[in-house]
Structure 1
Amino acid sequence: MSDYSQPEFYRFNQDSTALIKWVQAAGLTTNSILDLGAGSGIIGIELGRLLKPATVTLVEVQKEFKPHLEDNCRYFLPSEVSSSIVMSSFADFKSREKFDLIVCNPPYYLPGKGEQPQNPLRAIARSFLIDSWEILLKQVSLLVSATGKILFILKNDEQLYHSILTQIPSELANKRHEMEGLMILELFRLDKN
């Protein structure tokens, strides 16, 4: 996985690889993957390699990632898997398609909190606005298929977890999976019809 093309200001971390390994161990299958906040695409592309869905859609807001996403799709995604790169914020992303698996490794640093990166592009990639969770959760609830799953990889933090729980739309249920300082928040539809 170290061969992935990435911009100089960004490097994927253990969170991404932990989510990939968890999905593989869980034995999930899917026909379509949506990777929100894709960065260099490691999560969506690696899951595309492992699960062989018909489609992988990678959504990223920072234009600096686009050439890296294109290169990584070309070099790492199997030819039988169709890929789509959408340069958009998750709030503005629209799709008629419903996805069987939505994955997201969102930044969990709040702007102005903790040590801030010197590079403004890195700061954007690592920061998350407080009201972004409500918007993100509403958006994924509209995009997930009736039997689909939504997976977020997050630091294992009680305050963060309980803050997110209060914003989960009522049509979604959740499970929390903990591992080595991280958690996977799994969301799925209550009504599978």
Structure 2
Amino acid sequence: MALITDYSQPSFYHFSRDSIELANCVAEHIEFHELVVDKLADLCCGCGVIGLEILQKLDEETLSSIKEIHFVEVQDDYNSHLHRNIEQVKRGINGLEYQVHFENILQFNTVKDFDLIVMNPPYFKNGHGRSSENEKKRTCREYSGDELKSYIVHAANLLSQNGVLFFVCREDEQVKELLRGISKIYYIEKVEEAEGFSIFLLLRSQLH
């Protein structure tokens, strides 16, 4: 099927290059390593672009192994946009179950044992740099206190034993220190670097 180019999005926030780069990176990793993915989650999913882009970029054989995809988003303002985008993709990819959850990802634990999780969390520290006057936009972009660490650790705990987490974040000194701490529990590797953000892979099964 042709890739969707007209994703429905709210006026207060449009996805940016980091989401597309993450989807590209994950799709390439799945196919290169011939990963078998039964259950997939897109956390902090917004309008669902990352998870939906991944589905559209996989070949038919790889796609056929996926039975479920779960989208988790805290802001209900994305509800109509997310469902509209899912319906567009379902016209061409309808052999799996699409589930949507509107809740804080830290409270999301009804489904576990994901083979693959993707996450583009808020990765700008609240109070550091320019902040938007729009509260909904701030929710998309900014985190407070230890929230970013909590997001990553919680996502890791939702993985199956051999599951893989891909996430995006900046590499300022605070984040580097945060990742050093998490790497004492989980294996973390930077797999791609771009201007303004990096993409990381986390494995639950490899403790270093």
Deviation of 1:114 after TM superposition, in Å, equals 1.4
2:106 aligns to what SS in structure 1?
Answer: coil
Aligned equivalents of 2:149 and 2:173: distance in 1? 18
2:182 aligns to what SS in structure 1?
Answer: coil
> Per-residue displacement from partner, 1:108-142 (whole Å, max 9, x unpaired)?
11222211112221111111122113322331232
Distance 1:2 1:158, change over 3 A: farther
**Equivalent in the alignment of 1:55:** 68
Q: 1:46 aligns with which of 53, 56, 68?
A: 53
Superposed, which structure 2 residues align to 1:31-110 within 5 Å?
Answer: 31-51=38-58, 52=63, 53-77=66-90, 78-110=93-125
TM norm structure 1: 0.89
Aligned equivalents of 1:16 and 1:50: distance in 2? 14
**1:134 aligns to 2:149 (yes or no):** yes
Q: Percent identity?
A: 28
Q: 2:168 aligns with which of 129, 146, 153?
A: 153
Q: Is the 8 A contact 1:5 1:72 kept in 2?
A: yes
Unpaired runs of at least 5, structure 2: none
Aligned equivalents of 1:168 and 1:76: distance in 2? 36
**Equivalent in the alignment of 1:20:** 23
The aligned amino acid for 1:50 is K
Deviation of 1:184 after TM superposition, in Å, equals 1.4
> Per-residue displacement from partner, 1:140-166 (whole Å, max 9, x unpaired)?
232101111001112344542332221
TM norm structure 2: 0.83
Aligned equivalents of 1:88 and 1:56: distance in 2? 16
For the aligned residues, what is the CA RMSD?
2.0
Matched residue pairs, number?
Answer: 191
The aligned amino acid for 1:72 is N
